[in-house]
């Protein structure tokens, strides 16, 4: 497929490398310009471009940007044809994102994002930590392969996003419509707990809408107290922490 990726943070970098290595034609852009994208991000064949170039003539656009930047890219996404799938990987973090009233009132993050973009989207790759995503991919059929939930209202977009999740080295699991995507948000048993396909359905079902925001905030507070702001803990620590707090 032809894929455009907006964002070169930890998840965006790994997406670019993996999807290029899987044989897809990948264009990637960030907010600072193509000349600032490191060579190792493009080592598997990805191509650095501007943001408008990244979303032009592609089968899928992947948004791997801070959650609060979604409204800023909306004018760009409105130019994307309706038959192009848009996949969002981001998560809402209140202390970083200055509080969003609709989400604080219970609206699923992905539903809010879709409304900002004015079009259907899929939600994928938001439920795994950057270190696990970069280092814990496994070949299809591996018994302990990590499974990632994919939420979407459109069957076509869900199938496309699931295929791409598989190509990045993880089992894809259909998690239902966007209205249920809160079950894979931070603070839930499915978030950053590195579960298998057999374990993931029960984790999604066990999510508690009232408790998950409290667990989310506790988890982020523990990480900040332990490591400081802006530091990414290793995969083992993050998985142990989230399993202890959320499962």
**What pLDDT, in 10s, does the model give residues 135-175?**
999 999 999 999 999 999 999 999 999 999 999 999 999 99
Sign of CA dihedral 139, 233, 162, 176: positive
CB 147 within 8 A of CB 172: yes
Residue range 168-192: average pLDDT?
A: 98
Residue 153: which residues within 8 A CB-CB, separation 6 or more? 120, 177, 178
pLDDT at 130: 95
pTM beyond 0.85: the answer is yes
Quick one: pLDDT band at residue 233, thresholds 50, 70, 90? Answer: confident
Quick one: pLDDT band at residue 245, thresholds 50, 70, 90? Answer: very high
Q: What is the C-alpha to C-alpha distance for residues 61 and 14, in angstroms, rounded to an integer? A: 15
Residue range 114-137: average pLDDT?
A: 97
């Amino acid at each position: 497929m032809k894929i455009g990726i907006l964002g070169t943070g930890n998840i965006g970098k790994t997406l670019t490398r993996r999807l290029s290595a899987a044989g897809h034609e990948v264009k990637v852009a960030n907010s600072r310009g193509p000349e600032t994208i490191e060579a190792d991000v493009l080592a598997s064949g990805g191509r650095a471009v501007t943001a408008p170039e990244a979303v032009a003539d592609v089968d899928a656009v992947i948004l791997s940007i801070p959650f609060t930047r979604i409204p800023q890219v909306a004018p760009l996404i409105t130019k994307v044809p309706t038959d192009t799938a848009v996949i969002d990987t981001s998560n809402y973090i209140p202390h970083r994102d200055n509080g969003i009233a609709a989400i604080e009132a219970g609206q699923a993050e992905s539903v809010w994002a879709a409304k900002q973009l004015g079009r259907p989207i899929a939600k994928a790759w938001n439920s795994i930590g950057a270190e696990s995503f970069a280092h814990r991919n496994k070949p299809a059929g591996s018994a302990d392969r990590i499974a990632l939930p994919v939420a979407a209202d459109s069957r076509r977009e869900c199938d496309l996003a699931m295929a791409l999740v598989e190509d990045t080295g993880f089992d894809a699991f259909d998690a239902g419509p966007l209205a249920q995507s809160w079950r894979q948000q931070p603070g839930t048993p499915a978030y950053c707990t590195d579960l298998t396909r057999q374990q993931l359905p029960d984790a999604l079902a066990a999510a508690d809408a009232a408790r998950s925001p409290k667990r989310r905030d506790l988890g982020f507070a523990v990480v900040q107290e332990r490591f400081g702001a802006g530091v990414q803990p290793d995969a083992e620590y993050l998985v142990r922490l989230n399993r202890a707090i959320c499962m």
